[in-house]
Structure 1
Amino acid sequence: MTKNVSVPEGYKKTELGEIPEEWSIEKLGVLCELITKGTTPTTVGFSYQNTGINFVKIESISASGNFLLNMFSHISEDANKALKRSILKDRDLLFSIAGALGRVAIVNSEILPANTNQALAIIRLKEDQKTDIKYVYFYLKGPQIQKHIDRINVQSAQANLSLENINNFKIALPQKEEQQKIASILSKVDEQIEQTEQIIEKTEILKKGLMQKLLTKGIGHTEFKTFLFKGQKIKMPKSWNISTINSHLVEYKGGAPLKPTDFAEDGFRVFPKKAIAKGGILRIKESEQSYARDEFAKKHKSSIVDKNYLITTLRDLVPSGPNIGLIVKINDDYEYLMAQGVYGFKLRETLDNNFLIQYSNSLIYRKIMNKIMVGSTQVHIRNGDFFDMKIPLPPLGEQQKIASILSKVDSQIQDNQRYLHKLQELKKGLMQDLLTGKVRVCA
C-alpha cells in the first residue's frame, strides 16, 4: 500500500516539487519576448577581426557568469548588421546550449555593441513587471535547470539544447518582490565569492613574485653567478652551491602496477598521480579516495609510504606535463599505496623538505622539468634523471627561511580557499532553499 506523504501547510505539490501555494509555474518562453541564437560569421561570408564589434562565445563566459573580455572575438560593422537577429541588448540573458551547457550571463552596456553565435541562446524577458532578471538568472543556474541539463548530458555524448528546450524550461515564480529579495541575497553571496577569488588571485601573483625573487636572489645577497643546465641559464647568489636531490637522498621507492581488478570498495588507501598538484600538500577528497585490495597492498609493501616521505609523480597524461615533478607531503597519519609513476623519497637534513616542495612549484623548476621529460602524448621523466638533476641550493638556514616565507603565503591562500569553499557551499544551499520556496524571505 502506498503511503500518502502530506504536503506542508501553505505549499502545493507540482511537477517541480513542493512550492508555496501563491507561487506559479511558468514556461520560460511565456516570460520572454524573444528566445533565439546567433550564427558563426564565417557561414555568411565574414571573418573575425582583431578589433571591432565584440563577439561573445561560450569561452567568453566564466563558469561563475562573468564576461572574460580577453576571450571576446571581434567582427565588422557589416557582419554585425548581417547577423541582426543576434545583436545583443542590455539586460539580455545568455545561456550556453552547446559544449559547456548551462553557463549563464547577463549582458550589460559595458560590452555593447556585441553579437553572439549559435552556441549561446539569447533570452530577452518581457518588460511586463512580472519577472526580475536577476531572479531568472539565478534560477537558470539553479538545481532544477541543472537536473534537466544533467539528464540531457547522460543521454548524449555531445549534448546540445534546442531553443525549444529553452522555451520549455519550467520556472517556479513567486511575486516580484520576493524574486527581488531572493536575487538580492544570492547576489550578496556572489559578491563575497568574487571578492574572495580576487584575493586568492592577488595572493597567488604575490607568491609568484616572491618565489622568483627568493629562488634566484635569496635573502640579502649582493653578488650573483649563473650556471648552465641543458642550455638553461639559471641565476643564483654566489654563495649558493649546485647540488642534486641524489646527493641528499636517504631512500626512494616507486609505485605498484595496479590493474582495475586490484581496486576495491574498501581496503588500503591508494595515492594516485592526480593527487600530486600545486600547493605542496596531498589533497584527495574523501569522495574521490580509491582503495586497493588488502592482499594486493601486502604483496607490494615496498610501494607503501607515510608522512615521512616526500611524494612526486614522474608521469603525466597531459603532453605539457603540468604536474610532472611536483612534490607534495602527506599531512595525515594514513599509509598510502602509491600507484605506478608515483615515487616516494626521504632526504637527509641537509636539504629541507619544505624548501624542495616550494622549489618544485617555481617557474625555474618547471623549465628544468621541461628539459628532462621525454615522450609526446604520455610524458615521463626517468627516475635517474630526476634525482640527478642539478638545482641551486642555499645553505640549510637560508633554505628554511625561504621555505618559511613562502609557506606563510601558502597558508593565506589555503585559508581563503577554505573560506571560498564555505561560501560556495552556502550559495548552493541557499539556491536549493530559496528557489524552491522551502525558505521564505517575503510574507
Structure 2
Amino acid sequence: MSEVRIPEGYKQTEVGVIPQNWETKNIGKDATLKARIGWQALTTNEYQSTGNYYLVTGTDFNAGEVQWDTCWYVDEWRYKQDLNIQLRIDDVLVTKDGTIGKVGYVDELPKPATLNSGVFVIRPKYNSFVPKYFFYVLTSNLFKEFIRNITAGSTITHLYQKDFVTFNFPVPPKKEQTAIATALSDVDNLIGSLEKLIAKKEAIKTGTMQQLLTGKTRLPEFATREDGSAKGFKQTELGRIPEDWDLVELRDLLSYEQPTKYIIDGNEFLEDGTTPVLTAGKSFILGYTEEAHGIYRSLPTIIFDDFTTATQFVNFPFKVKSSAMKILKPKSTSVPIQLIYLLLSNIDYKVGDHKRHWISEFSSLKVRLPNSSIEQNAIATILSDMDAEIQALQQRLEKTRDIKQGMMQQLLTGKVRLAH
C-alpha cells in the first residue's frame, strides 16, 4: 500500500494533516473542565421563575447562543456555592446529559449565572487557545465524530469527564484563530439575520392570511359596490363574512382518492431521486424513489394526513408511506387550488371526538369563499407570492448554512488559510 502523500508545509498528527505551524491541543492538558458536582445538585423546587442569578441548562442553548429569557433562576447562595461554575464572558459550554455534545458560547452576561449539573464549562489554561475558535471546533465534524466514537454501542447518553479530557484538536497561531472565529461569526450573524427576517415574513403572512381568508380585510378593488359604497357583512355559522362571500363545504371543492396505488414498497427508497415520498405525521419528505406512479398529472393537489390533519400542497408525481395519507384533488379549475390549500391552513380541523379524522368528517368542514373568481385568484396570488418570497429566503438560509459548513471544514483543518 502506497503512503499517503503529505502536502508541503503540512504534517501528520493525531487529528489529521494540519499546517506545520499549527499545534494539537488536548482538553485535559490545555483547558479546565468544570461542572456542578453531585452533592451540589439542585432539586426542582429550587428552580425559580424570577431572580438575580441565572441557572443555565442545556435546553437554554440555541444555535450556540444562550437564550437568557428561557433560563431559570436560583438563590444567591446556590450561585456562590461554586466559583468554578460561575459563568464568565467567553466561556464555552457543552451538555453532558441527554442530548450530549450540544455547544453554547457565553458572549454576554445580563446577570450573574451558574450551571445546572448537566453542563460542562471549558476554559483555556494559560491562554492556550481563543475560546471562540474552540467553540467552532466543538461544532465541527471533528467533535461530532469524537462523540460518536465514545458513545458507539452505548445506551447511556452521558458525556463523562474521563472521556472528554481525551479530546484533541488542531490549533493555529493566535492571529489565525481570531481570524477564523471572526469569519465564522460573520456567517453566523448572516444566518441569524436571515432567520429573523424569515420569522418576520412568516408572521406577516400569517396575519395577512387571517385577514384576507376570512374577509375581515378586503382588497381595495373588491371592497366597494359599483356605486362606490362600502360592501357590508352577513352573519353565518362561522361568524360574519362579506355579503358577497359564501360558506362552501370542502366536498364541493375537492374530490378524494384512495392512496393505495401511490404507497411505496420498502425496497423502493433512495437517498435521491425524481419522486418524493411523503410520510404520515407531518407530511414531510421522507425520502425519494425513481418510481413515478403519479398518473394524475393535470393539476397539483393536496395531501391530507387524517391522524394529525397536517396538509401539504404538492405536485405529482409523488408516493406516500401509508394509507393515512389522503389525496385531495381539485374538482375543477374554477377555484384556485392554492387558495383551497391556504384555506385549509387557516381553519380548525377539530372534528369528532377521536384521534383519527375520517374523510367524511373532513369533507363536511366549511370554509369562507369569495363568490368572485377574480377575488379568489387575487387573494391566492398575494399569499402565494408571500410564500415564494419566504421559500426564496429559506433557500438562501440553507445555502448559507451549507457555505458555513464548507468553511468550517476548510478553515478548521488548515486546508484554507486566512492569516499566516
Fold shared, TM-score > 0.5 on shorter chain = yes
In structure 2, give the amino acid aligned to 1:272.
L
Deviations 1:35-90 (A, max 9, x none): 3346697646961122112111111111x112223321111213323455422222
Whether 1:401 and 2:385 are equivalent positions in the alignment is no
Question: What residue number does 2:361 align with?
Answer: 385
Deviation of the 1:428 alpha carbon: 0.4
Distance 1:158 1:213 in 2: 50
Deviation at 1:424, TM superposition (A): 0.5
Q: What is the alpha-carbon distance in structure 2 between the residues aligned to residue 214 and residue 258 of structure 1?
A: 35
What stretches of structure 1 of length at least 5 have no aligned partner? Answer: 278-282, 298-302
Aligned match of 1:424: 401
SS state at 2:94 partner: strand
**Which residue matches 1:133?**
131
Superposed CA deviations along residues 289-343 of structure 1, whole A, max 9, x for unmatched, are 1567x9xx6xxxxx85446241222333xxxx3xx1424121xx63546731222
- Residue equivalent to 1:273: 279
1:255 equivalent in structure 2: 259
Q: Answer yes or no: is the 8 Å Cα contact 1:93–1:107 preserved in 2.
A: yes
**Pair 275,402 (structure 1): closer, same or farther in 2 beyond 3 Å:** farther
Matched, 1:308 2:304: no
Q: 1:245 aligns with which of 247, 250, 264?
A: 250
Report the CA distance between 1:346 and its aligned residue. 2.6
Aligned position for 2:228: none
TM-score, with length taken from structure 2: 0.87
- Give the TM-score taking structure 1 as reference length: 0.82
1:280 is matched with none
CA spacing shift, 1:46–1:40, aligned 2, 3 Å: farther
Code of the aligned partner of 2:338 = N
SS at match of 2:313: strand
Aligned-pair CA distance for 1:161: 0.6
- Cα separation, 2, equivalents of 1:374 and 1:340: 21
Judged with a 3 Å threshold, the aligned counterparts in structure 2 of structure 1 residues 106 and 439 are, in CA distance, closer, same or farther, namely same
**Percent sequence identity over aligned pairs:** 26
d(CA) in 1 for partners of 2:341, 2:201:
18
Structure 1 range deviating more: 395-404 or 413-422: 395-404
1:342 is aligned to 2:325: yes
Distance 1:71 1:158, change over 3 A: farther
Q: SS of the residue aligned with 1:156?
A: coil
Which whole-Å CA distance do the structure 2 matches of 1:411 and 1:261 have between them?
A: 33
* 1:263/1:290 contact within 8 Å kept: no
Q: How does 1:163-202 map to 2 (within 5 A)?
A: 163-202=161-200
* Residue pair 1:86, 1:122 contacting (<8 A) in 2 also: yes
Report if the CA contact (8 A) 1:327-1:356 is conserved. no
The residue type paired with residue 233 of structure 2 is F
Corresponding residue of 1:223 = 232
1:236 aligns with 2:202: no
Q: After the TM superposition, which of the residue ranges 114-123 and 31-40 deviates more from structure 2?
A: 31-40
Cα distance in structure 1, aligned partners of 2:147 and 2:297: 42
- Cα gap change, 1:338 to 1:308, in 2 (>3 Å): farther
1:412 maps to which residue? 389
Residue 390 of structure 1 deviates from its aligned partner by 1.1
Whole-angstrom CA distance in 1 between matches of 2:64 and 2:304: 35
Q: Secondary structure at the match of 1:18?
A: strand
CA contact (8 A) 1:46 1:79 kept: no
CA spacing shift, 1:42–1:151, aligned 2, 3 Å: closer
User: For 2:40 and 2:248, how far apart are their aligned partners in 1?
Assistant: 57
Q: 2:79·2:86 contact (CA, 8 Å) conserved in 1?
A: yes
* Unpaired stretches in structure 2, ≥5 consecutive residues: 224-230
Deviation for aligned residue 1:425: 0.5
Q: Which amino acid aligns with 1:65?
A: G
CA distance in 2, matches of 1:257, 1:155: 39
Output one character per residue of 1:6-31: Cα deviation in whole Å (capped at 9) or x when no partner: 11111111221111112111102322
Q: 1:355 to 1:257 in 2, by over 3 A?
A: closer
Distance 2:366 2:360 in 1: 12
Counterparts of 1:393 and 1:407, CA distance in 2: 17
Instruction: Name the counterpart of 2:98.
Output: 99
Match of 1:264 in 2: 268
